[in-house]
Chain A
Amino acid sequence: MNKHTVAIQFIVITVLALSIYSCKHKEDEYHNVIEKIEAKSKEYKGVTVSSESYFDNIELIEISEDGTSFLIPDRKNQIQSYACTECHSKPLQDMENTDLKKAHWDIEIVHANENTMNCTTCHNPENMDNLKSLTSNHIDFNASYQLCSQCHTKQFEDWKGGAHGKEIGGWAPPRASLTCVNCHNPHNPAFGTKWPARFNTQKIKERK
């Protein structure tokens, strides 16, 4: 071993040592934020703040789907024409083709197409107080997301996780999220176009 290789070895070792050392960032010992999140959340013990006081007066119910539990707003108290059986005391077919005044004249379905969807795809003509699945099982109005999830499985998965839809109250536990019909009118679920909330006239000036 000559002097040269010793010197090279020394340099290599120093550089290695330095690079290992310098991986330790100034204040953090992590390479990137993902690593930091993974390491730190192993010791996660919970937080002292809570969203509880920010739900205002929204009535919430707890749901549990495939091991994920969270709160969603109650719907039955919000639907004006509920309970439906106040009028729908007899099966729908007995009500139709009579000279009863049109009651739901304002409801028009703009959702999928006529082959896929009519009123009784979702509503139960035998018992209007419940929604119905494609296989004619009861679905509670408070659990209308189960109706939607039959056809929109991907959106439903994202909603459960929190990537689709919206959390209300705050980020702190417990989690409360809007349900599908808070954002989508089931009869016409698309989001409309509208004018933006603001226009910056100052920027226009700056650009001229």
Chain B
Amino acid sequence: MSNNNKKWFSLNLNSRKKESNTCGCGNASGGCHSNAPKQELSEKEFFDAAVNASIGEERTRDGFDQVFDVKMDRRSAFKKLTASLLIGAGAVSTSCSVITDDETKEKAQIDWEEQFKGNYKLMSDDEKKATVDRLVRSYQLRTGKTISMSSKNAEADVLFGYAFNISKCQGYMDCVSACVKENNQDRSSQMQYIRIHEMKDGKGLSFDEADDNYYHEVPAEGHFYLGTQCFHCDNPPCVEVCPVQATWREDDGLVVVDYDWCVGCRYCMAACPYDGRRFNWSKPEVPENEVNHNQHYLGNRMRKKGVMEKCTFCVQRSRSGKNPACVEACPTGARVFGNLLDPNSTIRWVLENKKVFRLKEDLGTEPKFWYYMD
């Protein structure tokens, strides 16, 4: 890598020495050809170096690594960017790329477009579609596997809400397992969006004394169980603090993250009063045969190192009318999910007929996640 970098830096793009005037224009005008012999690199070397600098490391790794280990620190990001410029140029003009096969070219083209795509939040529907198509193709090129990725928008007349029955939950944690599988969460760090807190009866809700990682037969005598995850606040403090608008609230109430726009500053994590957000300290890994191929751009698509993620109420499922994986997996029926705007929905019945409460209601965050008892 370092070797490649050297070669690459000796091109004039970044160099302080202004000896030869190699243009970075990708020789659309053909001007570069005349300069080529004077360069330290032949055209083939030039292109290889550029490809290497951008995705070179990835060629030696397995398909999974290739897609998801994207460097996040500024320096390498900058390097990549510059390299992508070169590749983009190369991909446009055929002069440099005779030697490389079509797939490498396509990969480079995809990388180039990915590098410069905008914030998903601001994209038109066509742009969203193009983005997910690109990601699907990229995955296919790199792993040979086909995934499906949706860019389905929020539907009119839908506002998602959730209710949790603390007298029904038995602490079985089937929800947690289902969530991890559904959402392609990192296996090695054992990331979980959901936490189940085992609490002592008669002590109110004291999270300090609760255990969210018990391992004994459940339900334990004299205890009750309370699950937390992202509450999809209607007035979300995490969204306010994001410096780059990489997280926002959709019209159906889902608070989502554009993993590719996130810069990993973790302000949102600090701003969330409910411990609802998770951070990828290392590269998330899922064995290829366990990857859930039914994905949504804002949901369970593969993440990279150094970005935030969290519960999305399984946007890939909920926007098609299904229940989130946790709701489906719960054997006790403690989890109720539905459309708050539908007066005949079960979630509405719970809100209107049971004594419901929310956590830290006084903060004004307006979570769309209620708790109730029988």
Contacts and interface: CB of A to CB of B under 8 A. Distances in A.
A171 B321 contact: yes
A37 B176 contact: no
Interface stretch (A80-88, A102-110, A139-147, A161-169): A161-169
Given A37-B159, A47-B155, A51-B321, A193 B338 contact: no
Interface string B169-183: 011111011001000
A170 B341 contact: no
B338 A161 contact: no
Interface stretch (B76-84, B105-113, B125-133, B343-351): B343-351
B217 A193 contact: yes
B213 A163 contact: no
Given A25-B235, A197-B177, A170 B322 contact: yes
B218 A196 contact: yes
Contact of A46 (B157, B173, B331, B338): B157
B148 interface: no
Nearest to B167: A164
A171 B165 contact: no
A161 B217 CA distance: 31
B353 A194 contact: no
A175 B173 contact: no
Contacts of A37: 159, 161, 340-341
A79 interface: no
Interface in B94-132: none
Contacts of A164: 165, 168, 333, 374
B347 A196 contact: no
B30 interface: no
A198 interface: yes
A64 to B, nearest CB: 14
Contacts of B254: none
Interface in B204-233: 212-219
A47 B374 CA distance: 30
B321 A162 contact: no
B245 interface: no
A104 B297 CA distance: 54
B350 to A, nearest CB: 5
B58 interface: no
Contacts of B368: 33
B339 A196 contact: no
B372 interface: yes
A40 B350 contact: no
Contact of A166 (B180, B217, B333, B351): B333
A172 B324 CA distance: 12
Nearest to A177: B346
A100 interface: no
B341 A171 contact: no
B349 A194 contact: no
Contact of A171 (B180, B214, B332, B339): B339
A41 B323 contact: no
A126 B184 CA distance: 55
A202 B189 contact: yes
Nearest to A166: B333
Contacts of B180: 198
Interface of A: 25, 28, 32-34, 36-37, 40-41, 43-51, 54, 154-155, 158, 161-167, 169-173, 175, 177-178, 183, 191, 193-204
Interface of B: 155-161, 163, 165, 168, 170-174, 176-177, 180, 188-190, 192, 212-219, 234-235, 317-323, 327, 330-333, 336-351, 353-354, 366, 368, 372, 374
Given A177-B346, A202-B189, 10 more contacts: A25-B235, A32-B366, A37-B159, A43-B157, A167-B323, A170-B320, A171-B321, A198-B173, A198-B180, A200-B190
